[in-house]
């Protein structure tokens, strides 16, 4: 009965701990002050993407939206700044949302990981956090103040920091600035106006998409890159895409596959321009082989040489000690017991062969040289 009570108490404590952890509010995104700006009033927080953007709430979910926070800041001179911060599951989600909201007229800024500005609005992301800042009035220090804000954001650590590698395959020649869009779901693909519908892309396979606008002789063309987990999956979907497009018979649709990437070009461009743009995208496999370098204390060659020198020193010291001990013992025994242990008689008989005598000096030349004891 007592054991049952103990188990019951432990279960209740564990349930209470889990309930408290589930209801615990997420860590704040925005600081109380930075760069001379101080928060005014209470910040607004919510885990609902509809609070962040009622129109594109479903798109934010596709990018891995976690929570949202907004606050108003003021300075001593009376200026105001409104900040809206959205936190995502990883850096790829924040980057994708940044490309979704970025517009063509924006100027490139050096704030956070990437940033763009248009009049009093500045949009940037750092790590897994996207910031939308609207100034009441800009100043020469506005960019520096936002850089200070970016450096203090509670960004995620570990594997969530990596940016997607797919946008790096967009060619730079004839690229229209700020036109890249990184897409992770069908709703975002529909909003950015892709040349291929979501059902042909099949996001269920783990596909990622990046689109970019390119200038051509006839106007603008859209380059669409679809990344699949394997080249086999990419080949199957390319055949489906080409079969679907052949029925519509578009005159300005071109496609190819390179590795696990499906490349699609559509728009007002000639066939030669389309082939050149397709050929500019080539997948390169990056194979990493993590082999043990054995550069540890046990397998370091320098450590081996040092241990060999130490061993030689120990052997030399041992030989010196043994030699001194053996010589000292002999001298000591000789003094205590003289002419008993290490003594030998001065005259010792030995056998010698008289090989130096000439044959004429011997009695018989055929007789072997004599052997005598001395």
**What pairs with residue 254 in β-bridges?**
265
Structure tokens that stand for 326 in this block: 């053996």
Among 224, 259, 279, where does a domain finish? 279
Closest residue by Cα to residue 170 from 115, 205, 127, 221: 221
Q: How many residues does the chain have?
A: 374
Helix/strand/coil for 136: coil
Q: How many helices (H) and strands (E) does the chain have?
A: 10, 15
Within the chain, strands assigned E span 33-34, 37-46, 65-74, 80-88, 107-109, 114-118, 121-126, 129-135, 181-183, 208-216, 219-227, 253-258, 261-267, 351-353, 371-373
| Phi/psi at 216 (5° precision) | -140, 175
The per-residue pLDDT for 6 is: 41
Is residue 206 domain-shared with residue 272, that is, in the same domain? yes
- Flag whether 153 is in a domain: yes
Do 250 and 143 belong together in one domain?
no
Which range marks the domain in which residue 246 is found? 166-279
Q: Is 161 exposed, middle or buried (0-12, 13-18, 19+ CB in 10 A)?
A: middle
- What number of CA atoms fall less than 13 Å from residue 95's CA on the CB side? 21
Instruction: Specify if 225 maps to a domain.
Output: yes
Domain with residue 245: its CATH number is 3.40.1000
Q: Share the mean pLDDT of the chain.
A: 84
Q: How far apart are CA 178 and CA 63, in angstroms?
A: 19
Tell me whether residue 261 is in a domain: yes
pLDDT of residue 163: 84
The span from the CA of 195 to the CA of 182, in Å, is: 14
256 vs 262: CA distance, rounded Å: 6
322 falls within a domain: no
Question: Token pair 């763009």 is at which residue?
Answer: 116
Same domain as 171, residue 147: no
Residue 314 maps to a domain = no
Residue where a domain stops, chosen among 112, 146, 161 = 161
C-alpha separations of 233 from 10, 251, 257 in Å: 50, 26, 11
DSSP state of 106: P
Residue 193 lies in a domain: yes
To which residue do tokens 């404590």 refer? Answer: 13
Predicted confidence at residue 348, as pLDDT, reads: 56
pTM across the whole model: 0.70
* pLDDT tier, 4 (very low <50, low <70, confident <90, very high otherwise): very low
Counting the structural domains of the chain, the total is: 2
Please check whether residues 117 and 214 belong to one and the same domain: no
Q: Is residue 292 part of a domain?
A: no
Helix (H) / strand (E) element for 20: namely helix 2-23
For residue 3, pLDDT over 80 is answered with no
pLDDT of residue 97: 97
Check whether residue 42 and residue 145 sit in a common domain: yes
Task: Over range 252-277, report the average pLDDT.
Answer: 91
Q: Are residues 86 and 101 in the same domain?
A: yes
% pLDDT > 90, the chain? 60
Domain finish residue from 235, 264, 279? 279
pLDDT of res. 374: 42
How many Å apart are CA 75 and CA 89, to the nearest integer? 32
Q: Would you tell me how many other CB atoms lie within 10 Å of the CB of residue 163?
A: 15
Q: Is residue 113 part of a domain?
A: yes
Question: Does the structure show a pLDDT above 60 at 347?
Answer: no
Query: What values do phi and psi take at 319, rounded to 5?
Result: -65, -40
Q: Do 70 and 132 lie in a common domain? A: yes
* Alpha-carbon span 90 to 182, nearest angstrom: 14
Q: How far apart are CA 49 and CA 52, in angstroms?
A: 5
Are residues 103 and 61 part of one domain? yes
């Amino acid at each position: 009965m007592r054991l049952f009570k103990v188990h019951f108490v432990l279960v209740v404590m564990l349930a209470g701990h889990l309930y408290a952890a589930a209801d615990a509010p997420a860590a704040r995104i925005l600081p109380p002050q930075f760069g001379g700006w101080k928060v005014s009033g209470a910040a607004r927080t919510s885990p609902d993407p509809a609070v962040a953007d009622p129109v594109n709430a479903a798109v934010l979910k596709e990018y891995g939206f976690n929570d949202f926070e907004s606050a108003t800041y003021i300075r001593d001179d009376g200026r105001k700044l409104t900040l809206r911060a959205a936190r995502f599951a990883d850096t790829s989600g924040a980057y994708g949302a940044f490309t979704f909201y970025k517009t063509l007229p924006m100027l490139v800024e050096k704030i956070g990981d990437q940033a763009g500005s248009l009049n009093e609005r500045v949009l940037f992301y750092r790590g897994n956090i996207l910031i939308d800042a609207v100034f009441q009035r800009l100043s020469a220090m506005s960019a520096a103040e936002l850089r200070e804000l970016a450096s203090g954001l509670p960004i995620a650590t570990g594997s969530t920091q990596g940016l997607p590698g797919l946008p790096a395959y967009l060619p730079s020649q004839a690229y229209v600035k700020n036109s890249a869009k990184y897409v992770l779901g069908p709703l975002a693909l529909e909003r950015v106006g892709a040349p291929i519908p979501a059902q042909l892309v099949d996001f269920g396979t783990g596909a990622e998409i990046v689109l970019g606008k390119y200038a051509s002789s006839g106007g603008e063309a859209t380059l669409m890159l679809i990344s699949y987990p394997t080249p086999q999956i990419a080949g199957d979907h390319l055949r489906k895409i080409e079969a679907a497009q052949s029925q519509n018979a578009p005159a300005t649709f071109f496609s190819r596959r390179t590795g696990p990437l499906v490349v699609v070009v559509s728009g007002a461009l000639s066939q030669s321009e389309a082939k050149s743009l397709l050929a500019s995208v080539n997948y390169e496999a990056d194979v990493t082989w993590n082999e043990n370098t054995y550069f540890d204390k046990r397998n370091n060659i320098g450590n081996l040489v040092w241990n060999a020198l130490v061993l030689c020193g120990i052997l030399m010291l041992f030989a010196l000690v043994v030699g001194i001990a053996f010589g000292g013992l002999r001298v000591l025994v000789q003094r205590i017991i003289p002419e008993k242990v290490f003594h030998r008689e001065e005259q010792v008989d030995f056998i010698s062969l008289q090989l130096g005598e000439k044959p004429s000096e011997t009695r018989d030349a055929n007789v072997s040289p004599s052997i005598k004891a001395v």
